[in-house]
Structure 1
Amino acid sequence: MNGFHGLLASAGVLGGLFALLTANVFSQRFKAGVKLGTGGPEHQALLVAVRTHANFAEYVPLCLLLLAGDLYGGAPAGLVVKAGWVLVAARVAHVFGMQLPAPNKSRAAGALLTLAVLVGASLEAVYLAI
């Protein structure tokens, strides 16, 4: 498996996870009878589902874009692929952590690992561009 296929595999897993998070938002909306927004404090499960989904959508696309650019720009394929799988692990940890009372180690680890991938991929992109 080359770098492209390795990164593509992790992106595919992340896409599947995003689809599950989307389905969870739909399910929580249906259960709460809320069509728009989060329905206020009495619908905590919907709020958690929406924020988990939104947090994923805020970070994962940019991380994947940066990793793909790094790979295209000549970064070591093994490093990029490993970063892609770290991102998968980070997002899974974050999803589980969002289901627990805050603060918790799973949510913190997911957030910190996601940030590490984002910063690392960003720095590599700048390095490769100059």
Structure 2
Amino acid sequence: MPLTATPIYAGLAALLFVALSVRVILTRRAERISVGDGANKAMIKAMRTQANCAEYAPLSILLLALVELQGAPVWAVHLLGLMFIAGRFLHGYGFGRTPQIVPLRQLGMLLTFAMLILSGAGLLLHGLF
């Protein structure tokens, strides 16, 4: 059974990661930092925003693919995918601003964690029963 919904969110995650990577590059140029973070707050923030996306995206996409392969309704896969992408976008936007937009960061974390919990619990229940 080919995946139809998961590739959409994998593609969106890739584009989000590239956008965050470009922010790191632009910050490096603006702050004249070639390697590392230079103990520069703007550089650290840009790097952590990108890294946070990189930390959550692989597991989220894997879980989404497994949910789809297990035969979940396509609406459920899209709901989980939207939770993941919206969560990562909101977190990245809220965290990456100076000053941070804490409610957006928190909402992003909530959506991401909800997606992980729902996917993980659903897969566990499907596997056990």
Verify same fold: TM over 0.5.
yes
**Residue in structure 1 matched with residue 43 of structure 2 by the alignment:** 46
Aligned 1:24-39 pairs, distance under 5 A = 24-39=23-38
The answer as to whether partners of 1:70 and 1:128 remain within 8 angstroms in 2 is no
Task: Please state whether the residue corresponding to 1:4 is helix, strand or coil.
Answer: coil
**Residue in structure 2 matched with residue 115 of structure 1 by the alignment:** 113
Cα displacement (A) at 1:107: 0.4
Instruction: Supply the AA of the counterpart residue of 1:116.
Output: A
Cα displacement (A) at 1:64: 0.8
**Residue in structure 1 matched with residue 69 of structure 2 by the alignment:** 72
Which ranges in structure 2 are unaligned for 5 or more consecutive residues? Answer: none
Q: CA RMSD in A?
A: 1.7
TM-score, scaled to structure 2 = 0.88
Identity percentage over the alignment? 33
**Residue in structure 2 matched with residue 94 of structure 1 by the alignment:** 91
Q: Find the aligned partners of 2:112 and 2:99 in 1 and give their Cα distance.
A: 20
Q: Find the aligned partners of 1:129 and 1:37 in 2 and give their Cα distance.
A: 43
Instruction: Supply the AA of the counterpart residue of 1:44.
Output: K
Cα displacement (A) at 1:37: 2.0
Which ranges in structure 1 are unaligned for 5 or more consecutive residues? Answer: none
Instruction: Supply the AA of the counterpart residue of 2:112.
Output: T
Q: Find the aligned partners of 2:100 and 2:82 in 1 and give their Cα distance.
A: 25
Cα displacement (A) at 1:4: 3.0
How many correspondences in the alignment?
Answer: 126
Deviations 1:55-111 (A, max 9, x none): 101111101101101111222221011110111111111121011434610000001
Deviations 1:39-66 (A, max 9, x none): 11xx221111101001101111101101
Instruction: Supply the AA of the counterpart residue of 1:80.
Output: V
TM-score, scaled to structure 1 = 0.87
